[in-house]
């Protein structure tokens, strides 16, 4: 017990920070709408799983754009129409936290893909907003 306390104090004073917990951040910020397993909520938030992610996930910048710039307007997911708005999380979460969330989302989809803070920083710095993210989605999936 004493050794753990000493280790915790050393880590805290050394400036070393633990990597953000993508699952915990997802549970806090995303699961209220998308559910803990990413299955979505009928009429509110689409599933983050399904065949469409084979194409969306191939473009690494798509998920980063959704997290940093949001998504709005009508979309179809697994045959169900959704028309709403997903907020951007760039103002609430730093790049490392956004990368952890993106990595967790892809793991929920069965992909062992890791995102870096640098990728999310680059996405944050690109101009865009919810309508541009939807346009990217349409480009990747077709009308």
pLDDT score at 120: 97
pLDDT score at 78: 85
pLDDT score at 122: 97
**pLDDT means over runs of 10, the chain (143 residues):** 46 61 95 95 91 90 97 90 93 97 96 95 96 94 80
Answering whether pTM is above 0.75, one says yes
The answer to whether residues 44 and 125 touch, using CB atoms and an 8 Å cutoff, is no
pLDDT score at 18: 76
Instruction: Count Cβ atoms below 10 Å from residue 70 Cβ, excluding itself.
Output: 20
pLDDT score at 109: 94
N-to-C CA span, the chain: 59
Cα gap 28→50, rounded to integer Å: 23
User: 131-136 — which CB contacts under 8 Å span 24+ positions?
Assistant: 131/72, 131/73, 132/65, 132/69, 133/62, 133/65, 133/66, 133/69, 133/70, 133/71, 133/72, 134/71, 134/72, 134/73, 134/75, 136/59, 136/61, 136/62, 136/65
pLDDT score at 15: 53
Residue 62's nearest CA partner among 76, 43, 48, 74 is 48
């Amino acid at each position: 017990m004493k050794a753990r306390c000493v280790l915790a104090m050393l880590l805290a004073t050394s400036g070393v920070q633990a990597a953000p917990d993508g699952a915990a951040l997802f549970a806090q910020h995303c699961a209220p709408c998308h559910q803990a397993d990413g299955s979505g909520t009928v009429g509110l938030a689409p599933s983050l799983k399904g065949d469409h992610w084979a194409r969306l996930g191939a473009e690494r910048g798509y998920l980063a754009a959704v997290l940093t710039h949001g998504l709005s307007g009508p979309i179809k997911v697994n045959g169900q129409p959704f028309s709403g708005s997903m907020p951007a999380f760039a103002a609430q979460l730093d790049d490392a936290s956004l990368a952890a969330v993106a990595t967790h989302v892809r793991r929920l989809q069965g992909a062992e893909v890791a995102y870096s803070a640098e990728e999310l920083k680059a996405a944050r710095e690109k101009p865009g907003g919810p309508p541009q993210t939807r346009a990217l989605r349409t480009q990747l999936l077709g009308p």
